[in-house]
């Protein structure tokens, strides 16, 4: 039972264009969402996060949008650069007050982004 789904295993984008990575979740207890970037043979690196009380969070070229009613979030990268080529993981967690445990991140399977020069 996958609670966090990334339905696109891969995505190719031209350098300079926008990359949009999508993520859907099913667990209504999730209230905090994160994106991690992972290069081969390395651990995941935190990229950006968003709390469920917001619908948008921006950090430089990276913006995360959250649509709670649709249980959907997306990561926008503008402009895309070749160094952005990596696997991107969407992750979610619930409030510690709900008992879900804020440390228990539930990850999607990842989307491999290739930015073509």
Partner 1 sequence: NAGVMQNPRHLVRRRGQEARLRCSPMKGHSHVYWYRQLPEEGLKFMVYLQKENIIDESGMPKERFSAEFPKEGPSILRIQQVVRGDSAAYFCASSPWTLDRDNSPLHFGNGTRLTVT
Asked if omega into 82 is within 30° of 0 (cis), the reply is: no
Minimum CB separation from partner 1 for residue 80, in Å?
Answer: 22
32 sits near partner 1 (criterion: CB under 8 A): yes
Given 1, 42, 69, 117, the residue binding partner 1 (CB under 8 A): 42
The residue among 46 and 67 lying less far from partner 1, judged by its C-beta, is 46
Q: Give every CB contact of residue 81 below 8 A, 6+ residues apart in sequence.
A: 15, 61, 115
Residue 77 CB, nearest approach to partner 1 (Å) = 19
Of the pair 4, 113, the CB lying nearest partner 1 is at 4
The smaller minimum CB distance to partner 1, of residues 44 and 63, is found at 44
Positive/negative CA dihedral, 75, 77, 80, 82: negative
Cα–Cα distance, 31 to 117 (Å, whole number):
36
């Amino acid at each position: 039972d996958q609670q966090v789904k990334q339905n696109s295993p891969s995505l190719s984008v031209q350098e300079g264009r926008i990359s949009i990575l999508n993520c859907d979740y099913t667990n209504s207890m999730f209230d905090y969402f994160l994106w991690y970037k992972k290069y081969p043979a390395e651990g995941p690196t935190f990229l950006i996060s968003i709390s469920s009380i917001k619908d948008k969070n921006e950090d430089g070229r990276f913006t995360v949008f959250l649509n709670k009613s649709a249980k959907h979030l997306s990561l926008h990268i503008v402009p895309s650069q070749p160094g952005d080529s990596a696997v991107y993981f969407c992750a979610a967690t619930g409030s510690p007050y709900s008992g879900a445990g804020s440390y228990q991140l539930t990850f999607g399977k990842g989307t491999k982004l290739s930015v073509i020069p």
